[in-house]
Structure 1
Amino acid sequence: MNNILIIEDEVRVLEVIKAYLEREGYRVYCAAKGYEGLDLFNKVDFQLVILDLMLPDIDGEDVCRIIRETSKVHIFMLTAKVELRNKIQGLNMGADEYLTKPLSPRELTARVNALFRRMNYSKSTIFSYDNGRLKIDREKRSVQVKGEDIILTPNEFELLYTLASNEGKVLSREQLIQNIYGIDFEGSDRTIDAHIKNLRKKIEDDSKSPKYIITVIKIGYKFGVQKDS
């Protein structure tokens, strides 16, 4: 599970971001002050820090500098400072994203999900299941079943890869839509159901009794098979 540290002194903002990220399955730690956040950072292995720049005890910029002295952890800066020079300064300081308030928690969540997709992609581009029966190659955007190439549409591939890269995690239709279409999608969430039906016909031995793409009633879908070791 990926660990995220939020350093933010606005309690309401902190609570909302935490709730959204925990709903995505992340383990979230919170600090309302800079030094408190640094203390937590030294105790836990974090993959992402979401850092407000206007803190009551120490500037967020200083927190970023201190973290960067010892760590390459990803840092998202949150701030009300909208000037271009502030953004450039923050990025030069070592931030990976510079996001201005007010910020939609859905947008922030989509950016966090995109970050971890990229991180997972960089670790491995080929997923193999059932002793190689099913193979998903992210780099080539190809899928094989029993050694045969399976033709998927771009959206079908993204849906399959999203489920596979979140192995065992239940994803709602809304989460899948955000991952595949982005947060501005205006169609029906039942679009996902149509893609799932087509995917099952292409990769499952029995589409009516699937083992790869599992329906979780009233919630969404999950990938039901573990990767080959």
Structure 2
Amino acid sequence: MIRILMIEDDLELAEILTEFLEQLKQEEIQVETEDDPFKALSILKLKEFDLVILDLTLPGMDGLEVCEEIRKRQNIPIIISSARSDVTDKVTALELGADDYLPKPYDPRELEARIYSVLRRYEAKAAEVAQQSSSDFKLDEAAMQITYKGRPLDLTNAEYGILAYMIKKEGMVVSREDIIHNVSAINEDSSNKSIDVMVGRIRSKLGDKSLIESARGIGYKLVK
């Protein structure tokens, strides 16, 4: 079941959208509507939801502030549903953490498509995080840091880029050409030999050369 909190002060629109979403056959959807932004924030503390549909023009509190407050507290998909057409509102909402912005009026079928699209992205991200957390490698892209079995690795930018790419492709063979074209710290004119040298240094820093297998004539594969 998909549980949605709709923060919307146009109760007639909320009723139409709720009726449409709850009659969909693809997956059971349950919608709870709240027109008071303060009550909505309180409800989010008490109940679990899979997604929030948020209007921007609300009584007593602007929807952008509501978006910011939600994002401070939890990582939940937020779709803005608003009649405000100013591009500044859209940009600000996305900067504050909204996942999508749907200008009113719209066909409810478009809202349906946006809901499933956003939820798929969150599910894919959660799966990626779960995969990384189950590995001996931990990749922190914001800090450009990789740890192996809890030990931070002292890597150059190019070495970090190569290993990070291999972690994302764990279990798959990556060619030297893939590495050259997908690692920004490596010059596109780099030779295969220079890639081999950097991979050799990574193996030494890991302390276990068997972690990176050579695929003869192709490239390398990171194994657990």
TM-score, structure 2 normalization: 0.52
Q: Which of 31, 34, 37 is the equivalent residue of 1:31?
A: 34
Kindly tell me: are residues 70 and 30 of structure 1, through their superposed partners in 2, closer, same or farther at Cα, counting changes over 3 Å?
Answer: same
Q: Which structure shows the higher helix fraction? A: 2
Aligned with 2:15: secondary structure? helix
**Identity across matched positions, percent:** 36
Aligned partners of 1:120, 1:46: CA distance in 2, in Å? Answer: 14
Aligned counterpart in structure 2 of residue 107 of structure 1, from 93, 107, 110 = 110
1:115-194 alignment runs, 5 A limit: 115-122=118-125
Is 1:72 aligned with 2:75?
A: yes
Structure 1 residue 106 displacement after superposition: 1.2
Match in the other structure for 1:44: 47
Count of residue pairs the alignment pairs up = 125
Question: Helix, strand or coil for the counterpart of 1:98?
Answer: strand
Provide Cα deviations, 1:45-76, integer angstroms capped at 9, x if missing partner. 11110000001121111111111111111101
**2:61 matched residue in structure 1:** 58
1:84 to 79, 82, 87: 87
* Alpha-carbon distance between aligned partners in 1 of 2:82 and 2:124, rounded to the nearest angstrom: 29
Residue type of the alignment partner of 2:59: P
1:118 to partner: Cα distance = 3.6
CA drift of 1:117 comes to 3.4
Distance 1:120 1:80 in 2: 29
- Answer yes or no: is 1:15 the counterpart of 2:18: no
Q: Which amino acid aligns with 1:43?
A: L
Amino acid in structure 2 at the alignment position of 1:50: I
Structure 1: give runs of 5+ residues left out of the alignment.
126-229
Partner of 2:2: 2
Q: What is the 5 A alignment of 1:208-227?
A: none
- Distance between the aligned counterparts of 2:17 and 2:5, measured in 1? 11
- Displacement of 1:41: 0.9
Superposed displacement of residue 120, structure 1? 4.1
Deviation per CA, 1:140-165: give whole Å up to 9, x if none.
xxxxxxxxxxxxxxxxxxxxxxxxxx
Q: Which structure would you say has the larger Rg?
A: 2
Deviations 1:174-205 (A, max 9, x none): xxxxxxxxxxxxxxxxxxxxxxxxxxxxxxxx
Give SS of 2:46's match: coil
Distance 1:6 1:31 in 2: 6
One-letter code aligned to 2:56: L
TM-score, normalised to structure 1, is 0.51
CA distance in 2 between partners of 1:10 and 1:58 (Å):
15
- Aligned residue type for 2:93: G
Question: CA, structure 1 residues 123+65, in 2 after alignment: closer, same or farther (shift >3 Å)?
Answer: closer
CA separation in 2, counterparts of 1:44 and 1:91? 24
Partner-residue secondary structure (3-state), 2:21: helix
Aligned-residue offset at 1:122:
4.8
CA distance in structure 2 between the aligned counterparts of 1:86 and 1:58, rounded to whole angstroms: 15
SS at structure 2 position matched to 1:42: helix
Corresponding position of 2:217: none
